[in-house]
Amino acid sequence: MLREASYSSLRMGLYDAIKILMAPTTAKDDLTLLHKIAAGCASGAIGSVIATPTDLVKIRFQGYSLERPNPYPHSAAAFADIWRRGGLRGLYTGATPTVARAAILTGSQLSSYDHSKRMLLRSHWFQDTPATHFVASVISGLVTATAVNPVRKTGGAVGFVRSGQSVVARTPPLTILLLRALAPFPSRCCCGSLPSIRPT
């Protein structure tokens, strides 16, 4: 929960703010897909950099079992032990692949949802309804699964295909639930209200 509270909230909340910062003089309707991809990559990377220590603790907790019990009574003890043994560098063990994957995931997920929903609305076949959110989320999920799969660990061609099947099966439903749940709410940050993750 700690990892998701920091990572997911940051990458989602920063997306619109970074879009504005990247093109402050550009009208919202004129923002290109490239702008949105770059904003998504940046927000994903920033969120991952901040949340990497929580990701490390989560992975360590998942690695323990009945045969190898968890020596930490709680997450704070794990953070303290990792800091004592390795300092800041220890907390950021494995940060490079984690940040790269987060940048690719967020860059593909949010930009494809944002842009596909805008194109659906512009087609005049869709209105701003739950059905449109659903279709845009399906598109986003498929794009995200395709983009993220190559950076996952695979065992050659067979491993790539098997990994791809699991990612494609899992990512679209999660994307639908996540983006549909967030769609009615505006993004917020310390400087006030920001535009919601609606198409621009």
Q: Give the pLDDT mean for 190-199.
A: 41
Task: Quick: pLDDT tens for 101-125.
Answer: 999 999 999 999 999 988 998 888 8
DSSP string, 145-161: HHHHGGGS---HHHHHH
- Categorise residue 194: left if φ over 0, alpha if ψ from -120 to 50, beta otherwise: beta
Q: Give the pLDDT mean for 12-25.
A: 88
pLDDT for 35 = 93
Give the DSSP H/E element, type plus range, for residue 193.
strand 192-193
Task: Quick: pLDDT tens for 138-166.
Answer: 888 888 888 887 765 544 444 444 444 45
Task: Quick: pLDDT tens for 67-82.
Answer: 777 787 887 888 888 8
pLDDT for 157 = 42
99 Cβ partners below 8 Å, 6+ apart? 45, 48, 49, 52
